[in-house]
Structure 1
């Protein structure tokens, strides 16, 4: 039997609304983000663990609103008045806690956006009360912002995310692979990304591609053992 060949095709990360799978885990967050014209003070914080889909939902919102997207760590060196000329999404805001220049730049951006009548979406793993922002005026404004939470994924959402991650890498796993992974892997999107990336590498040169046996080996390699599974 001929061995499977892998071509040097980069993974395509699909971030459109049609690629955003909606279940009970994220429906409330999506609903809150979609009400952006009516956000209190035209701002919202999207909270969830790494790999939970925050960036995907942020890109959906940016497409809907014509917003720019910027990492919080880049704000200190950015042209803040120019950023404030349109809606904006600021990602990973918690990472700038204690960075005086970045905190002051975000405070300035926040005030200019509100003055210009534009909306602001912020993302972080935890709610603003846990950010340890040192600038009091910025901390108070962030803590007064409505929060939308991305919950831990359920089986349906985790299955859909795995399918998407495989598709982004042009991989078609055997039919029993995704149900097996959902049953035994940690219930996080970060783990899903690690598993699929590992399987992408390990499937190279194997005649059957991504099989359940290969998936079991990958979980062991990553120390995602069956006895630690949530199911």
Structure 2
């Protein structure tokens, strides 16, 4: 078995109206447009294997979920892929998130199965497949050939949407200048957005820029994801 890395999530802003079914709340911007467009029609014509890669908290796992919902893919996570019966997934699309955690033989067989009519394999992880450490020479050559679509760290549009969604989940209506203030001061990830909103909620006061500054100062002291 060859061990490797992990996933996360993302949300809402009406920047793109022609989203596929299941994509409600996903913000398409310059940070994820390449990957979004790469999987929007795939695997309608070609099948095979594709990978989405990018930093933690960038929304790549959410994009993989949207694709799986659209095409009816079997969704598998990491090392769990070794437990899947090949007969159950032959000839159908598969989403493998946290893909580096799958062992070499399982990855090799999944890539081969993706070549069958009706098959497709979408790999999701932080580094591109060409950078994964594997021992099987045949797997190495297959991973090097995988088409890869990058997702970058959330830009302002995506991070603002993440913050809006987190606030909405908690029934919080922040002052208008709070989100622009936070955008310049938190790490660019879904985890940072969730952490700062949780801290603001815990203060049990109207969410103003002053409270946001207080939350950031407290979060920095406790080592949370704030710059």
Please, what TM-score do these two structures have when normalized by structure 2? 0.80
The 5-angstrom pairing of residues 194-205 of structure 1 reads 194-200=195-201, 202-203=202-203
Choose 1 or 2 for highest CA Rg.
1
Which has the larger helix fraction?
Answer: 1
The 5-angstrom pairing of residues 126-165 of structure 1 reads 126-165=127-166
Can you give the 5+ residue segments of structure 2 that lack an aligned partner in the other structure? 1-9, 13-21
Equivalenced residues, count: 206
The equivalent residue for 2:7 is: none
The 5-angstrom pairing of residues 203-214 of structure 1 reads 203=203, 206-208=204-206, 210-214=207-211
Please, what TM-score do these two structures have when normalized by structure 1? 0.79
The equivalent residue for 1:79 is: 85
* 1:21-42 deviations in Å (ceiling 9; x for gaps): 1111111111111131367652
The equivalent residue for 2:30 is: 24
Is the 2:200–2:211 Cα contact (8 Å) retained in structure 1? yes
The equivalent residue for 1:92 is: 98
Larger mean CA deviation between 152-161 and 45-54 belongs to: 152-161
The equivalent residue for 1:187 is: 188
Question: Using a 3 Å threshold, how does the CA distance of structure 1 residues 155 and 14 change in structure 2: closer, same or farther?
Answer: closer
Structure 1: distance between partners of 2:89 and 2:171: 36
Question: Using a 3 Å threshold, how does the CA distance of structure 1 residues 122 and 170 change in structure 2: closer, same or farther?
Answer: farther
Larger mean CA deviation between 182-191 and 35-44 belongs to: 35-44
Task: Give me the CA root mean square deviation.
Answer: 2.5
Question: Using a 3 Å threshold, how does the CA distance of structure 1 residues 70 and 197 change in structure 2: closer, same or farther?
Answer: farther
The equivalent residue for 1:10 is: none
SS at match of 2:184: helix
Residue 173 in structure 1 maps to residue 170 in structure 2: no
Deviation, structure 1 residue 179? 0.9
The equivalent residue for 1:110 is: 111
Can you give the 5+ residue segments of structure 1 that lack an aligned partner in the other structure? 1-12, 97-101
Structure 1: distance between partners of 2:82 and 2:71: 24
SS at match of 2:220: coil
The equivalent residue for 1:33 is: 39
Equivalent of residue 49 in structure 1, options 31, 50, 55 = 55
